Amino acid sequence: MELAIISDEISNDFEHSLKVIRELGATSVEVRNLWGKSVVDLSQSQLEELRRLVKAYGLRLSNVDSAAFKTYLHDEESIENHLSMLQRAVEISRYLDLTFTRIFTFWWEGSLVKAMPSIVGALQRAAEIASAQGVTLAIENEYSTYTGTGEETARIVKQLRSPWVKVLWDPGNAFFAREEPYPEGYAQVRDNVIHVHLKDAKVIDGEFRWMPIGSGDIDFKGQLRELKTLNITASLETHYAPSGDKERGTRESFAGLLKTISALEG
């Protein structure tokens, strides 16, 4: 397992984020938003600068993240725009020698069973775009979409039946979707996980809150023990920002992550 950090969980100043990531000891960076833009909106010269900086700081680029299919399933015009967004994410992934990119499964509006045919139809089109370029799609379980849990995500992957569609597992999102992330949720997607986002959470006074790794209610000892055996990258996406300070939150959470890993090795 290789450790990464999503750069904008530290700062929109990409070079500053790289400095912090290197200082903390992670070996990879995941890119979502930088320099005030989504990664899919970067110019060619900005992509070249991105690649130059990652190399200059001795890091590896794990993947780029678009917001593809964070839209409503009934909005056909928006879906076409998101397919174009995905096309750009795939092109950027190819240019940066990456093997997969992240997608979602539409904002939740009701029953997954009723929405399933439409979701599968749209994502089959997405899989055709990606597979034509040799890029895999990783569905992130996101609690505000139709697939917040491992169980729901597994159902979509099973319906798609495509070797080009895998899973980006996020135990924190599963927790917010009221699933026990580990071992229950993870067991549903284990065989298809190619990337992981790490963030902890707990319920305080009836409110769901993000926490540093190891300070929440997710069984990260069990989760990390199993992830350590896999040849994948796990990216810190803490969402925990005390007093709005994202860098401080990332530093605290990465320290908690290393402490939890150290306890497994002790």
The tens-digit pLDDT sequence of the chain (266 residues) is 999 999 999 999 999 999 999 999 999 999 999 999 999 999 999 999 999 999 999 999 999 999 999 999 999 999 999 999 999 999 999 999 999 999 999 999 999 999 999 999 999 999 999 999 999 999 999 999 999 999 999 999 999 999 999 999 999 999 999 999 999 999 999 999 999 999 999 999 999 999 999 999 999 999 999 999 999 999 999 999 999 999 999 999 999 999 999 999 86
Asked whether residue 52 is assigned to any structural domain, the reply reads no
d(C-alpha 109, C-alpha 37), whole Å: 28
Q: How confident is the model at residue 81, as a pLDDT?
A: 98
Q: How confident is the model at residue 266, as a pLDDT?
A: 65
Asked whether residue 30 is assigned to any structural domain, the reply reads no
Q: Which helix (H) or strand (E) holds 130?
A: helix 112-131
Asked whether residue 145 is assigned to any structural domain, the reply reads yes
Backbone φ and ψ for 146, nearest 5 degrees, come out as -70, -20
Asked whether residue 187 is assigned to any structural domain, the reply reads yes
Q: How confident is the model at residue 166, as a pLDDT?
A: 98
Burial code of 81-90, b = ≥16 C-beta within 10 A, e = fewer? ebbebbbbbb
Is residue 67 within 8 A of residue 85, CB to CB? The reply is yes
d(C-alpha 201, C-alpha 221), whole Å: 14
d(C-alpha 189, C-alpha 149), whole Å: 10
Asked whether residue 10 is assigned to any structural domain, the reply reads no
* Residue 249's CATH number: 3.20.20.150
Q: How confident is the model at residue 265, as a pLDDT?
A: 81
Asked whether residue 47 is assigned to any structural domain, the reply reads no
Joined tokens for residue 61: 């680029």
Q: How confident is the model at residue 172, as a pLDDT?
A: 98
Q: How confident is the model at residue 11, as a pLDDT?
A: 98
pTM over 0.95, yes/no:
yes
Asked whether residue 192 is assigned to any structural domain, the reply reads yes
Asked whether residue 239 is assigned to any structural domain, the reply reads yes
Q: Domain total for the chain?
A: 1
- DSSP SS3 for 235: strand
Question: Which structural domain range is residue 176 located in?
Answer: 63-265
Whose CA is closest to 66, among 32, 30, 43? 32
